Chain A
Amino acid sequence: KQEVTQIPAALSVPEGENLVLNCSFTDSAIYNLQWFRQDPGKGLTSLLLIQSSQREQTSGRLNASLDKSSGRSTLYIAASQPGDSATYLCAVNNNDMRFGAGTRLTVKP
């Protein structure tokens, strides 16, 4: 059974700092990996989707990497802003979406 782990569980940084969120998974036979953002009381917003054949995806200040062989993905956020404060979840797909528990990010002004 696929298990997805996210470290750290919570992170607090000052505005402007670059940061990395980590996601690891136990079964490398995946279709893709997706990073989401969840704001309190809201649903999930898809940030980036990396297909299994890809190594990374970029959108604005966000960059996600995927290393299938080691079962790892990272989400890099450049020049963090208070508006980036949210919970970030990664999910791996292999005919079944498995989510990590998330990293709660706080960016302080």
Chain B
Amino acid sequence: ETGVTQTPRHLVMGMTNKKSLKCEQHLGHNAMYWYKQSAKKPLELMFVYNFKEQTENNSVPSRFSPECPNSSHLFLHLHTLQPEDSALYLCASSLRDTANTGELFFGEGSRLTVL
């Protein structure tokens, strides 16, 4: 198994749909992250979980709902999204959430298109 796996790789959804993105890491890390990558914008940190507890929510709209059932799995539940939410959503993990070394391991991302 590769380090950080994201599914689905591509997702197209209407504004009234409900869908979820899944992330799984096999690295034994304790911190997991959701990032949003949009064209011409810096990488945006959305949520951080450390030992399954949410430690950061960067003013993300409530139509994005994260879930971290254990240190290896992270979900991003999506509902009533807007077209401007179309982006690449990247999951990452690290040994722990201190960013002392900033060594993050990223998945390949889920490309989301909202129609």
| Chains A and B bind each other | no
